[in-house]
């Protein structure tokens, strides 16, 4: 050491349409879409993430080898300082990259942009959780070779990733050189054309230890300001003719195994690399101990073998797909897209970690790798129903950062806890205070995720411990922040809601309704777990104050127009001039000043509509229909967060074609790169929102009252929709056709029972037999409400 599953249906037959919906395939060099493909083909397990960069690393757009939570800190700078402005920003950085395997053919590097590319195909297999690649290439000097690789990031083994790389000459002997690298401080290009792109630190890792030993090696590095340590080890298996030679060398930022020799047609060189990653604070295990840990993990993976990793990966996914798979008959492309979405949600988080899920997961460095309100509002509602242990882990991560949230509240002269709008390490990283500091709704979003998790799982132990403390501290924030008017109403002034084309409004409806749910949920939990609440200093007077504030929260309503106001006075603001807005002017934030956006009736993403999705019991059916029509005409969907909530409400009010088209936009956000931002990483909230669009929109699932209810209705393009979810320890499967809804407990004991509501009828589903009910006709909602000119989603429903 130098110091310096399958679903319940049988597996499809290979080559069938259904089989193709389990695979994402890209053929050809596709050089103009490298970044997008790298994100789509990213593999992760909630702890380790490898972007889908080619094995050789080039051509490529954004290399990325991530460990969840690994970041560096830099100073925030402001032209004019202000009190309580965040002073630091955390940015995701790449860990040492163990995915690299470079090839030289007669001293010419393999590069699919040169020579002759006869065949090049990469396939992401959603059933087996691997990325496969096959390339047939002739070098500029005329040497033809075949390359195959299989890559995985192990779902059951947290630290482990692996790749099997094979090369063989096809028509003549060739001199081959294969270099398997473990590389730190890999150059990451900066995308400066968009303010939403990441800032990329240069050489963020400082070497602490490096070693090469036989076919193996290890690197240990540390960050500067964030004070983290990361260790990565690699271990190899080589299957090749005896004529090849191997050498292994190391320098502070690189370990390289070189395999070289002359191969003839019919001979093959196979190199299998096993990698293990660990990360922790510098005051944790020292460098040598962390190195020993990852070496042991990599060696254990090598001892078990690559085939064993493949078997365990398939078994893990079989179990996950048993709940997560969605069957959508009628549109094979969207069937594939929803499986793609669910696959990336499956691999985004872990039940056994102390980390959460960022907006891009471990698929790219977009948004600086920050955790945002997307997690609790879009991703955790889905995972709570499909993988509740993962949702619990993410909420435990929020709880672990309560000290920073309390500190931030005190800094802002507020009570309780104020959680950050953007963060990695628990502190606010947004330097734009009208959004970051004033978007207080993130606190209620976290509370909402706690309440949903407890309702779905009945995990009273979690509620009595971390859950209760999260609810209490966020309730204290609202109770202290709001004020009473002379009329007896309770107001929340000067807040920023979900819509990023508005800021610093009074009584934002989404914020107020979610705060009401927070206050009431905290009161109920404190009364249920009175001893634990007492230890937090909660007394009956405080609980009564929460309930009084919740009951009196002001919800602005424009009686003249018959709609709720997104925030007080919103409907009296000037209208946006859509007639003079060109198609090239979108997204508006890149072509108009916020001063113009903030004072007009133009909505970037669903806000009032999101309030109706999350708090449906607070609105009548007539109010929902009028609100939806009003805001549909003003919502431009310059955010990937918008289509899914709009789809849910469009389905509820009866505009099923529009709902289907909005669902299609949400689920294909990344596969079609609709916002030209997929290269920075996948939009996990949009992928999760697609499940919500199906299950809440067409399945009619509602959960805001703590009971399970369904009001299903199918658009004409869907012949059958089937999905599963967990409720109180049971798997409930729902199958919908145009005429019938079927509810069953396929895995349950005969005495198991789940109670639910179907279109207002109370049902009891047992483990012995399914319950079926007719699908009532959908009332005619009238003409579809207009969208802003040119902003309606593509009319896929008419296909």
Closest CA relative to residue 495, chosen from 412, 386, 397: 412
The answer to whether the annotation marks 87 as part of a ligand binding site is no
617: burial class by Cβ within 10 Å (0-12, 13-18, 19+)? exposed
Q: Return the SS3 of 657.
A: helix
Beta carbons of 433 and 85 less than 8 angstroms apart: yes
User: Cα–Cα distance between 59 and 51 in angstroms, integer?
Assistant: 14
The answer to whether the annotation marks 605 as part of a ligand binding site is yes
Closest CA relative to residue 228, chosen from 201, 251, 249: 201
> Do the strands 563-564 and 557-558 form a parallel or antiparallel pair, or are they unpaired?
antiparallel
CA angle, residues 367, 369, 370, in degrees to nearest 5: 75
Could you tell me the two tokens for 673?
Answer: 């790169």
User: Cα–Cα distance between 615 and 700 in angstroms, integer?
Assistant: 14
Beta carbons of 628 and 650 less than 8 angstroms apart: yes
User: Cα–Cα distance between 533 and 525 in angstroms, integer?
Assistant: 8
Q: CB neighbours of 572 closer than 8 A, spacing ≥ 6?
A: 558
CA distances from 459 to 85, 388, 408, 422, 518 (A): 38, 10, 29, 28, 18
The answer to whether the annotation marks 677 as part of a ligand binding site is no
Beta carbons of 335 and 17 less than 8 angstroms apart: no
Q: CB neighbours of 531 closer than 8 A, spacing ≥ 6?
A: none
User: Cα–Cα distance between 565 and 572 in angstroms, integer?
Assistant: 9
User: Cα–Cα distance between 95 and 76 in angstroms, integer?
Assistant: 23
Catalytic positions are: 500
User: Cα–Cα distance between 447 and 376 in angstroms, integer?
Assistant: 9
Beta carbons of 374 and 357 less than 8 angstroms apart: no
User: Cα–Cα distance between 477 and 428 in angstroms, integer?
Assistant: 16
Q: CB neighbours of 506 closer than 8 A, spacing ≥ 6?
A: 491, 492, 493, 494, 495, 556, 567, 568, 569
Q: Return the SS3 of 392.
A: helix
Could you tell me the two tokens for 685?
Answer: 């909230």
- C-alpha dihedral (384, 385, 386, 390), degrees to nearest 10: 10
Could you tell me the two tokens for 161?
Answer: 């990733």
Give the number of other CB atoms < 10 A from CB of residue 486: 5
- C-alpha dihedral (137, 140, 144, 150), degrees to nearest 10: -30
- The greatest distance separating any two alpha carbons of the chain, rounded to the nearest whole angstrom, comes to 90
The answer to whether the annotation marks 347 as part of a ligand binding site is no
CA distances from 323 to 377, 384, 798 (A): 21, 12, 31
Phi-psi region of 494 (alpha: psi -120 to 50; beta: other; left: phi over 0): left
The residue whose two tokens read 């997929």 is: 678
Beta carbons of 66 and 682 less than 8 angstroms apart: no
User: Cα–Cα distance between 94 and 253 in angstroms, integer?
Assistant: 13
Q: Return the SS3 of 292.
A: helix
CA angle, residues 664, 670, 673, in degrees to nearest 5: 95
Q: Which residues are annotated as a binding site?
A: 373-374, 604-605
Q: Which residues are annotated as a binding site for substrate?
A: 373-374, 604-605
């Amino acid at each position: 050491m130098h110091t310096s599953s399958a679903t319940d249906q049988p597996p499809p037959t290979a080559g069938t349409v259904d089989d193709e919906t389990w695979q994402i395939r890209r053929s050809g060099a596709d050089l103009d879409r490298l970044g997008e493909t790298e994100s789509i083909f990213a593999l992760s397990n909630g702890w380790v993430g490898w972007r889908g960069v080619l094995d050789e690393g080039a051509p490529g757009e954004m290399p990325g080898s991530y460990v969840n939570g690994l970041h560096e800190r830099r100073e925030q700078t402001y032209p004019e300082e202000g009190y309580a402005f965040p002073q630091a920003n955390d940015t995701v950085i790449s860990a040492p990259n163990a995915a690299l395997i470079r090839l030289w053919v007669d001293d010419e590097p393999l590069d699919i942009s040169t020579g002759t590319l006869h065949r090049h195909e990469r396939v992401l297999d959603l059933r087996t959780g691997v990325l496969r690649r096959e390339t047939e290439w002739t070098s500029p000097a005329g040497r033809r070779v075949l390359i195959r690789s299989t890559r995985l990031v192990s779902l059951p083994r947290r630290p482990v990733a692996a790749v099997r790389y094979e090369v063989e000459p096809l028509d003549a002997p060739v001199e081959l050189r294969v270099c398997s690298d473990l590389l730190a401080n890999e150059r990451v290009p900066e995308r400066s054309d968009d303010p939403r792109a990441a800032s990329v630190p240069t050489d963020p890792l400082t070497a602490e230890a490096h070693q090469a030993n036989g076919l193996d090696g290890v690197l240990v590095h540390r960050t500067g300001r964030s004070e983290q340590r990361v260790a990565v080890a690699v271990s190899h298996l080589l299957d090749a003719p005896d004529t090849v030679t191997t050498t292994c060398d190391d320098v502070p930022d690189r370990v390289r195994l070189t395999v070289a020799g002359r191969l003839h047609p019919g001979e093959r060189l196979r190199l299998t690399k096993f990698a293990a990653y660990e990360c922790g604070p510098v005051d944790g295990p020292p460098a040598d101990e962390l190195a020993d840990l990852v070496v042991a993990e990599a060696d254990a993976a090598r001892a078990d073998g690559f085939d064993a990793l493949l078997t365990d990966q398939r078994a893990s996914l079989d179990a996950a797909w048993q709940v997560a798979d969605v069957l959508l008959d009628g549109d094979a492309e969207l069937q594939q897209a929803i499986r793609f979405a669910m696959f990336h949600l499956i691999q985004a988080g872990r039940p056994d970690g102390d980390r959460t899920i960022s907006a891009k997961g471990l698929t790219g460095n977009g948004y600086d790798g920050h955790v945002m309100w997307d997690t609790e509002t879009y991703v955790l509602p889905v995972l709570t129903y499909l993988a509740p242990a993962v949702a619990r882990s993410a909420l435990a991560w929020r709880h672990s950062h309560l000290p920073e949230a309390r500190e931030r509240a005190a800094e802002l002269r507020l009570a309780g806890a104020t959680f950050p709008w953007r963060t990695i390490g628990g502190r606010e990283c947004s330097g734009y205070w009208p959004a970051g500091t004033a978007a207080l709704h993130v606190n209620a979003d976290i509370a909402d995720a706690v309440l949903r998790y407890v309702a779905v799982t009945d995990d009273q132990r979690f509620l009595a411990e971390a859950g209760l403390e999260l609810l209490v501290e966020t309730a204290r924030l609202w109770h202290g922040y709001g004020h009473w008017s002379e009329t007896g109403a309770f107001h929340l002034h000067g807040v920023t809601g979900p819509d990023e084309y508005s800021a610093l409004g009074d009584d934002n409806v989404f914020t107020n309704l979610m705060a009401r749910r927070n206050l009431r949920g905290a009161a109920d939990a404190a009364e249920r777990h009175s001893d634990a609440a007492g230890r937090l200093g909660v007394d009956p007077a405080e609980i009564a104050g929460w309930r009084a504030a919740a009951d009196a929260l002001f919800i602005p309503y424009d009686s003249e127009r018959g709609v709720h106001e997104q925030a007080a006075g919103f409907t009296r603001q000037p209208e946006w001039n859509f007639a003079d807005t060109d198609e090239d002017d979108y997204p508006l934030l890149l072509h108009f000043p916020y001063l113009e956006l903030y004072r007009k009736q133009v909505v970037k993403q669903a806000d009032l509509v999101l309030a109706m999705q999350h708090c449906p019991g607070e609105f009548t059916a007539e109010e929902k229909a009028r609100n939806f029509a009003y805001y549909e005409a003003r919502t431009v969907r310059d955010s990937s967060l918008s289509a899914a909530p709009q789809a849910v409400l469009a389905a509820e009010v009866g505009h099923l074609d529009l709902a289907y088209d909005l669902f299609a936009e949400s689920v294909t956000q990344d596969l079609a790169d609709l916002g030209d931002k997929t290269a920075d990483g996948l939009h996990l909230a949009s992928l999760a929102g697609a499940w919500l669009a199906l299950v809440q929109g067409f399945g009619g699932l509602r959960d805001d009252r703590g009971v399970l209810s369904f009001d299903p209705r199918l658009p004409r393009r869907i012949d059958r929709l089937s999905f599963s979810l967990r409720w109180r320890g049971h798997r409930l499967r729902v199958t919908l056709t145009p005429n019938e809804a079927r509810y069953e407990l396929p895995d349950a004991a005969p005495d198991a029972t789940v109670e639910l509501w179907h279109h207002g009828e109370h049902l009891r589903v047992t483990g012995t037999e399914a319950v079926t009910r007719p699908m009532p006709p959908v009332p005619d909602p009238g003409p579809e409400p207009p969208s802003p000119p040119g902003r309606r989603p593509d009319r896929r429903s008419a296909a």
